[in-house]
């Protein structure tokens, strides 16, 4: 079995190392793992490739891949791998832990007024009373839009703080998968809950169906003390409408990891708000990223091999 590994990136945490290749080789000694570093190398090697581990795959590359049986990718989103029916695709599903930590850092930043704390620290000011206006998550309600694997992990973390959770998804309540949600609703019921929640969290995927899911009418109906967070895809909210809602103090702030245009242009008004957190599409980035993926990948490779027997 010949396996090409094309996991190169400008992000250090997303780049595979020779030690990771050795770990895979030691785990599957009868297979040949070959690390490649360019698209040209990939196209040359695809003709003899049985399995591929990669960040992205173009539809025309299937023409060079007569033996290809499966593609494995760390990416959770389905927009980087072109699909063809004869080839199975296995996506990463380990991101929930990292992204829930990023989400919690944003939520606690707003809830505990960390910006005010750091400001006072810089001024060497001992002020306590502003904390009287902070909030405990145990008295708050979070609406998680896009209640898939990542949303469920975040729900579990939030629930450990006592937060009330409403999940939004198209499928019905699953007592095993959705056990950390107090309530599951379909997207068409969301208007009934917007005004009740303190945190609106989006993990929606990209695609035409989610374009401008969050618009002016949505933000208008949120509580003026609530916060909007987007860690899904940048197409899901209308940036102009979000700016409008912030300018008019219709919501209390926003924690944003993804944007319709990336990098976020310097001309974007979002940079100018003191109550907006801008993360550079990095909610899943951490030093242990590839190691976490390798652990999952080994399970996926075992599953694929066993299913072929």
Write out pLDDT tens, residues 110-146: 999 999 999 999 999 999 999 999 999 999 999 999 9
Q: What is the mean pLDDT of residues 184-200?
A: 96
For residue 308, pLDDT beyond 80: no
Distance between CA atoms of 280 and 114, rounded to whole angstroms?
20
The structure tokens 């609530």 sit at: 226
Q: Given 35, 91, 95, 233, which residue is catalytic?
A: 233
Distance between CA atoms of 198 and 103, rounded to whole angstroms?
14
Instruction: Dump pLDDT digits (tens) for 85-97.
Output: 999 999 999 999 9
Please give the pLDDT value at position 76. 92
For residue 67, pLDDT beyond 80: yes
Q: Is 281 a catalytic residue?
A: yes
Q: What is the mean pLDDT of residues 5-9?
A: 98
Share of the chain above pLDDT 90, in %: 97
At 28, list the tokens. 């599957």
Instruction: Dump pLDDT digits (tens) for 208-249.
Output: 999 999 999 999 999 999 999 999 999 999 999 999 999 999
Q: What is the mean pLDDT of residues 194-204?
A: 97
Q: Please, are residues 274 and 246 in contact by the beta-carbon 8 Å criterion?
A: no
Q: Map out the domains of the chain with their CATH numbers.
A: 2-91+287-308 (3.40.50.720), 95-278 (3.40.50.720)
Main-chain phi, psi angles of 177, to 5 degrees = -75, -35
Distance between CA atoms of 71 and 56, rounded to whole angstroms?
9
Q: What mean pLDDT, rounded, does the chain reach?
A: 97
pLDDT band at 309 (very low <50, low <70, confident <90, very high): low
For residue 77, pLDDT beyond 90: no
Please give the pLDDT value at position 37. 96
Q: Given 262, 266, 288, 296, which residue is catalytic?
A: 262
pLDDT band at 162 (very low <50, low <70, confident <90, very high): very high
Please give the pLDDT value at position 296. 98
Tell me the C-alpha to C-alpha distance, in Å, between residue 303 and each of 149, 200, 296, 307.
19, 36, 11, 6
Closest to 63 measured CA to CA, from 89, 80, 32, 86? 86
Please give the pLDDT value at position 3. 98
Q: What is the mean pLDDT of residues 265-276?
A: 98
Q: Is 95 a catalytic residue?
A: no
Q: Given 41, 56, 281, 296, which residue is catalytic?
A: 281
pTM, two decimals, is: 0.95
């Amino acid at each position: 079995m010949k396996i090409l590994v094309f996991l190169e990136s400008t992000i250090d945490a997303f780049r595979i190392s020779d030690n990771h290749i050795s770990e895979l080789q030691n785990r599957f000694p009868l297979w040949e793992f070959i690390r490649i570093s360019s698209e040209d190398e990939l196209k040359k090697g695809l003709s003899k490739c049985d399995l591929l581990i990669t960040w992205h795959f173009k539809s025309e590359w299937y023409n060079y891949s007569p033996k290809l049986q499966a593609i494995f990718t760390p990416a959770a989103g389905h927009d980087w791998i072109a699909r063809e029916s004869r080839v199975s695709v296995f996506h990463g599903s380990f991101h929930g832990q990292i992204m829930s930590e990023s989400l919690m850092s944003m939520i606690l930043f707003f809830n505990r007024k960390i910006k005010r704390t750091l400001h006072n620290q810089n001024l060497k000011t001992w002020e306590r009373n502003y904390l009287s206006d902070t909030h405990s998550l145990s008295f708050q309600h979070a609406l998680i839009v896009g209640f898939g694997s990542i949303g469920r992990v975040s729900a579990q973390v939030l629930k450990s703080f006592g937060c009330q959770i409403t999940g939004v998804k198209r499928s019905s309540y699953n007592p095993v998968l959705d056990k950390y949600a107090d309530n599951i609703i379909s997207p068409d019921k969301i208007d009934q809950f917007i005004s009740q929640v303190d945190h609106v969290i989006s993990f929606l995927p990209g695609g035409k169906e989610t374009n401008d899911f969050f618009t002016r009418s949505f933000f208008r109906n949120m509580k003026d003390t609530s916060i909007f967070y987007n860690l899904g895809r940048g197409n899901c909210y209308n940036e102009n409408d979000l700016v409008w809602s912030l300018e008019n103090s219709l919501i209390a702030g926003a924690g944003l990891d993804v944007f319709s245009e990336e990098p976020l242009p310097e001309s974007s008004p979002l940079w100018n708000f003191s109550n907006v957190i801008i993360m550079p599409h990095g909610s899943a980035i951490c030093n242990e990223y590839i190691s976490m993926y390798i652990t999952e990948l080994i399970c996926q490779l075992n599953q694929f091999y066993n299913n072929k027997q």
